């Protein structure tokens, strides 16, 4: 029998820890609580210091990306990134601050989603699958209550694997925790990958309070929820109605439903909906409704925002206009250090930021979210095909089948292109800097960063300046997942004279 290589399951997280005298451990953990301490199921945030028995290491949250080094804003004000100065000052009163790097290895036995253990049993071990599952179940019950094996390759557009249940109950609705947020999901009907946790937190660490985020392939919200927790306004979309159901549930569980606007449609239509400038000149009081896309404004493409969802969005808009959620948009932007090799998302010049923020807070009423005026980041986590979504399509080939017949909706006979991103934004209405696009992709050994860049530029019909490739993880011996980040090129903006507007009217 071939041996199982458990090291293949390992993930190493590069974190930071405070080295403290052990007698202060309780006081310091109380002070840092869950917000700044590492918060992972079954992992203790206070550990022994290998260098001295008298000390303990208090492991900090992944959100605390790195201590302020000499040239970062955090260093200038003398505290750790993303940790308020008061907390840092209280720490200093308790002990000397000694920050050390800490590597956390999550090994073979760590991986599961809530009560579900997910196996990928290779062909040569299939004969033993029931024995393997029983051992895992018996050894880990009650933490693990279901053991499943992935069957075949993922072919559906919702990216949900097919599972066979090998042991335990068939209910796959479960809860998982990531960086202090709780996610409920049905493992059998939505996309979920625990191994992306570090990537979710890396990207969210680039956002600032008050940023406007468009998550085109949001799933159940592992980017959107922490972004909203950080004070961003998030437009989150997924084609899978089940994912949108759990996205809304998770927004409620994590108390950020006022900052998240969920959509259930094709990603291109979602962007088009958000960026369409209303035809009539409207008074400020009606602008929130434009974002809600009531039924009459929804494109007849068979993938439109469901009524249920639309009600939700309208509800959110109303919540927004009543005030509570908008603290985030009016809030003064916090300076954060820019990581080496990471996009500098703070290059908007100060006058532009001021202009935009002023615009949002103008008048006595709450500011309005108007995505066609400004968004800060667009997330595209569908690595198998996100690059295609950078381009426009003529008559999208989406179709649906009924009793074996393939039917095309009226929308697909329409020759108007679905814009994404070339010509999507109207120069006249846009304020501030152009958005960062974070487009995930796979790079195979036969491809290179250059070939991917050239494909992206072809789709955009514009040159990308200063692209940043971040290697996320190896998914196979000759295939890795990357995140390509770049500022939307200026050429992608359309001028008034071009007639791309109101395609969803």
Ligand X SMILES: C[S@@+](CC[C@H](N)C(=O)[O-])C[C@H]1O[C@@H](n2cnc3c(N)ncnc32)[C@H](O)[C@@H]1O
Annotate each residue in 36-55 with x if it binds ligand X (CB under 6 A) or - if it does not, as one string.
Answer: --------------------
Q: Which residue is nearest to ligand X (CB)?
A: 219
Nearer to ligand X, 237 or 392 (CB): 237
Nearer to ligand X, 178 or 291 (CB): 178
- Least distance (Å) between residue 160 CB and ligand X: 7
- Least distance (Å) between residue 42 CB and ligand X: 21
- Least distance (Å) between residue 410 CB and ligand X: 19
Residue 329 bridge partners (DSSP): none
To which H or E segment does residue 147 belong? strand 146-151
| 173-212: contacts with ligand X (CB under 6 A) | 191, 193, 196
Tokens 């956390």 belong to residue: 104
- Least distance (Å) between residue 38 CB and ligand X: 21
Annotate each residue in 337-376 with x if it binds ligand X (CB under 6 A) or - if it does not, as one string.
Answer: ----------------------------------------
* Per-residue burial over 233-258, b = 16 or more CB atoms within 10 Å of its CB, e = otherwise: bbbbbbbbebbbbbbbbbbebbebbb
Q: Which residues contact 351 (CB under 8 A, 6 or more apart)?
A: none
Q: Which of 217, 411, 436, 482 binds ligand X (CB under 6 A)?
A: 217
Tokens 């009539």 belong to residue: 280
Annotate each residue in 264-303 with x if it binds ligand X (CB under 6 A) or - if it does not, as one string.
Answer: --xx------------------------------------
- Least distance (Å) between residue 441 CB and ligand X: 11
Nearer to ligand X, 243 or 250 (CB): 243
Nearest of 329, 422, 324, 310 to residue 376 by alpha carbon = 329
CB 423 within 8 A of CB 500: yes
Binding of residue 481 to ligand X (CB under 6 A):
no
Residue count, binding to ligand X (CB under 6 A): 20
- Least distance (Å) between residue 204 CB and ligand X: 11
Nearer to ligand X, 173 or 287 (CB): 173
Count Cβ atoms below 10 Å from residue 49 Cβ, excluding itself: 18
Dihedral sign, Cα of residue 152, residue 155, residue 159, residue 163: negative
Q: Which of 38, 247, 382, 390 binds ligand X (CB under 6 A)?
A: 382
CA 175, CA 155: separation in Å to the nearest integer?
25
CB 328 within 8 A of CB 232: yes
Q: Which residues contact 476 (CB under 8 A, 6 or more apart)?
A: none
Binding of residue 167 to ligand X (CB under 6 A):
no
| 140-159: contacts with ligand X (CB under 6 A) | 157-159
Q: Which of 65, 381, 426, 485 binds ligand X (CB under 6 A)?
A: 381
283 φ/ψ sector (left φ>0, alpha ψ -120 to 50, else beta)? beta
CA 18, CA 28: separation in Å to the nearest integer?
10
Piece of 24-32, 218-226, 410-418, 490-498 that binds ligand X (CB under 6 A): 218-226
Binding of residue 245 to ligand X (CB under 6 A):
no
Q: Which of 239, 378, 418, 456 binds ligand X (CB under 6 A)?
A: 239
DSSP for residue 56: E
Q: How many CA atoms lie within 13 A of 13 on its CB side?
A: 28
CA 220, CA 177: separation in Å to the nearest integer?
13
Q: Which of 61, 65, 229, 240 binds ligand X (CB under 6 A)?
A: 240
Nearer to ligand X, 326 or 483 (CB): 483
Q: Distances from the Cα of 119 to the Cαs of 108, 149, 177, 195, 383, in angstroms?
A: 11, 5, 20, 14, 22
- Least distance (Å) between residue 92 CB and ligand X: 37
Q: Distances from the Cα of 329 to the Cαs of 210, 291, 293, in angstroms?
A: 4, 16, 21
Nearest of 312, 325, 323 to residue 231 by alpha carbon = 325
Nearer to ligand X, 225 or 460 (CB): 225
Q: Which of 45, 67, 210, 219 binds ligand X (CB under 6 A)?
A: 219
- Where on the chain is the footprint of ligand X (CB under 6 A)? 157-159, 191, 193, 196, 217-219, 222-223, 237-240, 243, 266-267, 381-382
């Amino acid at each position: 029998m071939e041996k199982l290589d458990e090291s293949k399951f390992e993930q190493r997280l590069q974190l930071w820890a405070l080295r403290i005298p052990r007698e202060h451990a309780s006081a310091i953990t109380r002070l840092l609580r869950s917000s700044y301490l590492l918060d992972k199921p079954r992992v203790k945030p206070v550990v022994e210091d290998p260098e001295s028995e008298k000390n303990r290491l208090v492991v900090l949250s992944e959100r605390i990306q790195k201590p302020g080094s000499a040239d970062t804003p955090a260093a200038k004000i003398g505290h750790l990134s993303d940790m308020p100065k008061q907390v840092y000052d209280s720490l200093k009163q308790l002990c000397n601050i000694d920050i050390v790097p800490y590597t956390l290895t999550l090994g073979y036995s760590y991986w599961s989603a809530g009560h579900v253990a997910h196996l990928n049993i290779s062909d040569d071990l299939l004969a033993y699958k029931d024995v393997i599952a029983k051992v895992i179940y018996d050894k880990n019950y009650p933490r693990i209550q279901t053991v499943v094996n992935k069957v075949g390759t993922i072919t559906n557009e919702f990216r949900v694997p097919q599972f066979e249940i090998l042991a335990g109950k068939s209910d796959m609705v479960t809860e998982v925790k990531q960086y202090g947020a709780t996610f409920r999901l049905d493992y059998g009907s939505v996309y979920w990958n625990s191994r992306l946790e570090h990537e979710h937190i890396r990207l969210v660490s680039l956002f600032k309070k008050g940023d406007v985020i468009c998550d085109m392939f949001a799933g159940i919200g592992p980017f959107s929820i922490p972004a909203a927790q950080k004070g961003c306004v998030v437009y989150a979309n997924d084609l899978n109605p089940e994912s949108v159901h759990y996205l809304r549930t998770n927004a409620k569980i994590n108390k950020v439903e006022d900052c998240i606007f969920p959509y259930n449609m094709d990603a291109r239509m979602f962007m088009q909906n958000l960026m369409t400038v209303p035809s009539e000149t409207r008074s400020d009081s009606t602008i929130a409704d434009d974002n809600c896309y009531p039924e009459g404004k929804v494109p007849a493409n068979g993938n439109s925002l469901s009524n249920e969802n639309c009600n939700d969005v309208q509800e959110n808009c109303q919540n927004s206009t009543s005030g509570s959620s908008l603290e985030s948009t009016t809030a003064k932007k916090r300076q954060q250090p820019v990581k080496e090799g990471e996009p500098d998302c703070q290059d908007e010049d100060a006058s532009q930021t001021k202009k935009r923020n002023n615009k949002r807070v103008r008048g006595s009423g709450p500011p309005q979210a108007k995505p066609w005026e400004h968004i800060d980041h667009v997330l595209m986590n569908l690595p198998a095909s996100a690059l295609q979504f950078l381009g426009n399509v003529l008559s999208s080939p989406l179709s649906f089948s009924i009793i074996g017949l393939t039917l095309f909706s009226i929308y697909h006979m329409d020759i108007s292109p679905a814009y994404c991103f070339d010509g999507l934004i109207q120069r006249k209405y846009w304020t501030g800097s152009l958005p960062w696009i974070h487009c995930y992709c796979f790079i195979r050994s036969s491809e290179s960063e250059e070939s991917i860049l050239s494909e992206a530029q072809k789709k955009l019909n514009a040159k990308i300046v200063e692209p940043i490739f971040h290697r996320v993880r190896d998914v196979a011996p000759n295939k890795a997942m990357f995140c390509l980040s770049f500022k939307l090129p200026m050429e992608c903006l359309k001028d008034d004279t071009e007639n791309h507007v109101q395609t969803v009217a």
